[in-house]
Amino acid sequence: MARSRDGNDDDLDDPAGPPTRQVPAVDLLGRQPADAVGPGSPPPAAETSAAPATPAAPATPTAAETPAAPRTPLRHRVLPRSLLGITALILAFSVGAGLSGVVLYSYYQYKLNQTNDRVNTVITGYKQQFANAEGDLQASAAAAKAEIQAQLGPIQALEASPATLAKLAKQLAPSLFFVHTLDSNGQASVGTAFVVSSNPTQSLLLTSYTTIAAATHSPAPPLFVQQGQTSTPATVRTWDQTYDLALIVLPVGNLPVVPAAPASPGPVVGQRIYAVSGLGSAGAALSQGLITDVSANGIQHDAPLGPAYQGGPLINEAGQVIAVGSRTYAPLGFATDGVWYAPYVQAACNKVLNCPGGIISGSQ
């Protein structure tokens, strides 16, 4: 025998089980069910109301009582399960992609057009600015040229015109000779000589001592004077090294003489002067400059004077000799750069030439 939880000694092996207690059912209105009325119980009271009884609403099943619906897989809810559905999906994707491409391309084209418009605006503005700047530069250049020309006017008035140079070259060419010989080292020595006196048999030419210095010694190198294509031997008659003057004799007579400029009025500072060479296609070549100083020893000038010009005449605009061109004459005892000293042509009368009355007469 075993003891139950409530302490009663019941027979656990009883097949009928423990005795149960039945509780009579009770109606919510306090009425007992019909099957619960026992013998001797009074019958239920009659209904006091004549209204018919309202039928009870059907009971709503609870969640526990509702059966769960079968759950559809995710792939079935997202992807179609038929060929027609897949085709429709692909077609929808294609249409969407096409529309997206159209939208993107339209946006790209819009942005491209905007960029092109901005670039064109910048280019147009740059071209306009460039044109304006170019016009301003041209106007400034024209104004600058006009100003320079106005300032150069007085200087250009001092320069000889090409017609004047050609006229002087033609006038002096018959009286000029190109001198060539050798120096003490056997190298070529060149210069120019011009006629200061001439008779029927011979002519006297004045030149630079520097050109014919080697010919003043014995044995002397050959000395030639050339006019055009004709080269003629000549001899040294006398010279003055200090004044860089020499007189040579040419056995050709009746040559035109280069006239000497008058002693009064004499040369002045700022006067235009021309250095003349006997080497040139026209028989003479000229370079021009200005007299920068006048002294008892000669003049100082800035006319270009190359080796072929030494010994040549320095003339005025009338073609008259003022001085003799020299690259070595230095009355101050030192050489100068860019300007040259030249002895007066009248110094030849005292040093290398006999002049009646001290003036070169043109015949000897």
- Which tens digits make up the pLDDT trace of 104-121? 888 898 999 989 998 988
Answer whether residue 28 shows pLDDT above 50: no
CATH number for the segment(s) 166-358: 2.40.10.120
- Of the chain, the end-to-end C-alpha distance in Å amounts to 192
Structure tokens at 215: 């010919």
Beta strands in the chain (DSSP E): 2-3, 9-10, 176-182, 188-198, 203-207, 224-227, 230-233, 235-240, 245-250, 272-277, 285-295, 298-301, 313-315, 321-324, 340-342
Q: Could you give the percent of the chain with pLDDT greater than 90?
A: 45
Structure tokens at 195: 């006629």
The number of CA neighbours under 13 Å toward the Cβ of 133 is 6
Give this prediction's pTM: 0.57
pLDDT at 7: 47
| Cβ neighbours, 10 Å, residue 263 | 10
Task: Report how far Cα 50 is from the mean position of its chain's Cα atoms.
Answer: 121
Rounded Cα–Cα distance for residues 224 and 234 (Å): 6
Residues forming a β-bridge with 180: 190, 224
Name the CA dihedral angle for 215, 217, 220, 223, rounded to a multiple of 10 degrees. Answer: 10
Question: What is the average pLDDT across 229-248?
Answer: 94
Q: Which residue has the tokens 């294609």?
A: 94
Structure tokens at 320: 């008259």
Question: What is the average pLDDT across 42-58?
Answer: 52
pLDDT at 61: 58
32 phi and psi angles, rounded to 5 deg: -90, 145
pLDDT at 180: 96
135 phi and psi angles, rounded to 5 deg: -65, -40
